[in-house]
Structure 1
Amino acid sequence: MIGEHILSPCPEYPTPVKACAISACGNFAVVGTAGGWIERFNLQSGISRGSYTDASERKRGAHGGEVVGVACDSTNTVLISGGFNGDVKVWDFKGRGLKSRWEIGCSLVKIVYHRYNGLLATVADDLVIRLFDVVALKMVRKFEGHSDRITDVCFSEDGKWLLSSSMDGTIRIWDVILARQIDAIHVDVSVTGLSLSPNMDVLATTHVDQNGVYLWVNQTMFSAPTNKVGSYGSGKAIVSVDLPSVSSTEKKSLDNDFDKAVIIPQVEDSSDLSVLSKQIPDLVTLSLLPKSQWQSLINLDIIKERNKPIEPPKKPEKAPFFLPSIPSLSGEILFKPRESGEEEKDSQGGETEKSKRKADFPLSQFLQYLQSAADADNFAAFTEYIKELSPSTLDMELRMLQIIDDDDEEETSKRPELHFIELLLDYFIHEISCRNNYEFIQAIIRLFLKIHGESVRRQAVLQEKAQKLLEIHSGVWQKIDKLFQSTRCMVSFLSNSQF
């Protein structure tokens, strides 16, 4: 619990809290109880700011029965509440007086209010969804079609669609403006809850006895509208869809399952880790890194230019005493020992020492991880290591391998940098083939080609690796593109039904 206040409505006759809502300004909380009591509280102080009572009710309170739901408008003008007995009431938010009342005629199950268009959706036991205009204080729409208990409803962000789910196994999409059903699908496991993303591109659903969240892709967001008259948008036909399986070891074919949905399972037992560690065929996994971390790799030049200092650093008048140190890739501070005159002379004029130093290529922790992963043919540890690096550090590690003086091809082919560039290409080929950390690997490949593209073009061995990477990448991307185009979606517009 973050807040320090405990809100207790009607302390004289305490009953369980059944509904609550927070005002659009965030200053007030409205709480409804099983006894029909509705009370408003200030969230900063936790003090009660009054209760909503209807004098026509037999007992003191807002409703004669349980409060099913409460909702506040966007301007703190009205409060909407629904009672189990089938009455929907509109209250003056500040004055707490009753403004209007609607009788549904049967028990009320759920209410959902859309603040931006002022429409209230009510779900009743008669399996009818009713829409009320809170501003005009009248019922404006009635949707019928479900044959079993309605479990959940939700509005789209723009308020033009209403989605509903039922225990009959169907998910229906209603067009609020056209006042009709535009799509419906049937699943083999009944839906208990649904939620549409603000961009209206992904729908999340939960199902009976399913420990997971199913994601459905809206095809209208990824493909052009079509004039083909089919099962979608007809308002009558219902498409049957089987839910996909979590495990790739089941007999059920998974090739078609990915045209329908993707499931995100919840791990409840450590014994399930062995199953989840086996990637489902043709499934692309993401790195789960923050978007800013891998996007910064792409825009690193822009970020450096933006953060570039306006003036060069100024030398202080009295500089402190510094001990000379040796730069190291590991970050450790190594102090440089004092050299004698002979050693300085040898270091300056000795060609043998110079060539020896050039041949001794320092291996950073980045290169050590890469070499050991390539030797073991297992890049998991290397991937975890580079995911922990900052974008600037990863950029520095890649630039340390840059070959600048590559005029002599024979000498360049013997340089150790070329070996590690080749190992990086092998790493990219492996990760793209396995379809792991897809967006993160794409960002690294782009940065890698930006730095080492010229070296890859000049070296034949690197060209072969790059060509293999291109072929594998094209094959994987074609599958992803085909997945988005052929994903079975819930909504598909006809040209004459678009807004």
Structure 2
Amino acid sequence: MLAIALDNLSLVIVDTETRRVVRNFLGHSGKINDVTFSPDGRWLISASMDCSIRTWDLPSGCMVDCFLCETAAVSVSLSPNGDFLSSSHVDSLGIYLWSNKSVYSLISLRPLPSDYEPMTVSLPGSSPSHDEDVQEVGDEEEDKMASACWESREQLDRRLVTMTSLPESRWRNLFNLDIVKRRNQPQQPPKRAAAAPFFLPTVSGLQPSFQASEDPENQTLGPSAVDLELRGLSSDLGPTSQFLLAFLRMVEAMLEERRDFDLAQAYLALFLKMYLRQLSQDPDTVAMLLRLQGRLETIWAELRSSFDQSLCLLAYTKSALL
């Protein structure tokens, strides 16, 4: 890419391979003194005699940042990492350094309107200023951007698949948990569990029942605790098909809502590894498994279509010219 400043106060970007003009930027009202590219080639920073320093986004072709200095900048340059911008100014000795806040924090860069009025900032000094009226560069604009940032909902749409926000250590090793346990044998014998209280809390009513704990435990169990809970669905005291069906209904509800999709896959894989033979002997559980299979195939077909579309778009973007 080649950036050229013209006499009509415009900037043009020329593709050196095709020798075509791919971008044309307008906005300066004075002679353009210097331009520089960002290290990744995404931004173009220009300085002119109108005392403005502007940042242009090449992929979108828009201006994303602009501020005025007390004196015009005659030269600008970005550091190799893009974390600092150096500038020299008219009637000023020395080189001034500006910090690139987008490197250290999340800043939403949006295209600035054509009637945008930039604010005037003071040149960086070598000693701290005690003037209360002087503000840091870009604080006002950053506050505006932060207040205007859009916050996403937990579930944008019922047709979209949402992953859980849990770390991978909670569900990635569930299927191979027995192998992990064999590798991590305890060096000391396990401690004896504490005795249960003699009186268990109950809820008063016509049909007394045990009082359930009100502490939230959703998605807080580790892999070993999840494995223990799933193994507890099987018991020698009586039929367990109702518990297995209840678990399958829970997985079906997670798939219907399309939330925590990765967690549902991990739970279902471990569940089938434990009870596949027992499930195949019960017609009710077999029917439920067939329903889950159909629902999973439908969701995966939609995901595969979205993946193919995204890969096609990325391949086109990488091969297309700016």
How high is the TM-score relative to the length of structure 1? 0.34
CA separation in 2, counterparts of 1:493 and 1:145? 15
**Which amino acid in 2 is paired with 1:492?**
Y
Query: Letter of the aligned partner of 1:334 in structure 2?
Result: A
- The DSSP-based 3-state class of the residue aligned with 2:266 is helix
**Which amino acid letter does the alignment assign opposite residue 173 of structure 2?**
S
Q: Find out whether 1:128 has 2:2 as its counterpart.
A: no
Match of 1:451 in 2: 274
Identity %: 19
Q: Aligned partners of 1:142 and 1:285: how far apart in 2?
A: 45
The residue that corresponds to 1:334 in the other structure is 196
CA RMSD of aligned residues (A): 5.1
- Structure 1 position 462 matched with structure 2 position 285: yes
Deviations 1:7-34 (A, max 9, x none): xxxxxxxxxxxxxxxxxxxxxxxxxxxx
What letter corresponds to residue 316 of structure 2 in structure 1? S
Q: Deviations over 1:121-175 (max 9, x none)?
A: xxx97343799xxxxxxxx9999511226998563xxxxxx556999x9864xxx
Q: Is 1:491 aligned to 2:315, yes or no?
A: yes
Q: 1:335 to 1:283 in 2, by over 3 A?
A: closer
Q: Identify which of 176, 183, 196 aligns with 1:306.
A: 183
What's the offset of the Cα at 1:334?
2.5
Cα distance between partner residues in 2 of 1:302 and 1:449: 17
Q: Deviations over 1:355-377 (max 9, x none)?
A: xxxxxxx9997xx99xxxxxxxx
For the pair 1:207 / 2:207, whether they are aligned, the reply is no
Partner of 1:276: 153
Letter in 2 for 1:279: L
Question: Counterparts of 1:162-173 in structure 2 under 5 Å?
Answer: 162-163=41-42, 172=59
1:308 Cα deviation (Å)? 1.7
Query: d(CA) in 2 for partners of 1:153 and 1:295?
Result: 39
Give the counterpart letter for 1:280 in structure 2.
D
Q: Is 1:479 matched with 2:302? A: yes
Relative to its length, the structure with more strand (as a share) is 1
Is the 8 Å Cα contact of residues 127 and 144 (structure 1) preserved in structure 2? yes
> How far apart are residue 336 of structure 1 and its match?
7.7
After TM superposition, the structure 1 = structure 2 runs for residues 401-412 of structure 1, keeping only pairs within 5 Å, are 401-402=233-234
Unaligned runs of 5+ in 2: 27-34, 46-53, 66-106, 113-144, 200-208
SS of match in other structure, 2:171: helix
CA distance in 1, matches of 2:255, 2:300: 10
Corresponding letter in the other structure for 1:478: A
Q: CA deviation at 1:303?
A: 1.4
Question: Cα distance, 1:418 vs. partner?
Answer: 2.0
Q: Aligned to 1:146, what secondary structure does the other structure show? A: strand
Q: Which string of whole-angstrom CA distances, capped at 9 and with x for unpartnered residues, describes residues 448-469 of structure 1?
A: 1111212211111111111101
AA paired with 1:468? R
Query: What is residue 422 of structure 1 aligned with on the other side?
Result: 245
Verify the 8 A CA contact 1:165 1:192 in the aligned structure 2.
no
Cα gap change, 1:293/1:151 in structure 2, threshold over 3 Å: closer, same or farther?
farther
**What is the one-letter code of the residue matched to 1:394?**
V
Alignment of 1:169-184 (within 5 A): 172=59
1:297 partner letter: L
Q: Which runs of 5+ in 1 are unaligned?
A: 1-103, 108-123, 132-139, 156-161, 173-185, 194-203, 210-265, 315-321, 338-361, 370-380, 406-411
Query: Number of residue pairs matched?
Result: 215
- Tell me whether 1:441 sits opposite 2:246 in the alignment: no
TM-score, normalising length from structure 2?
A: 0.51
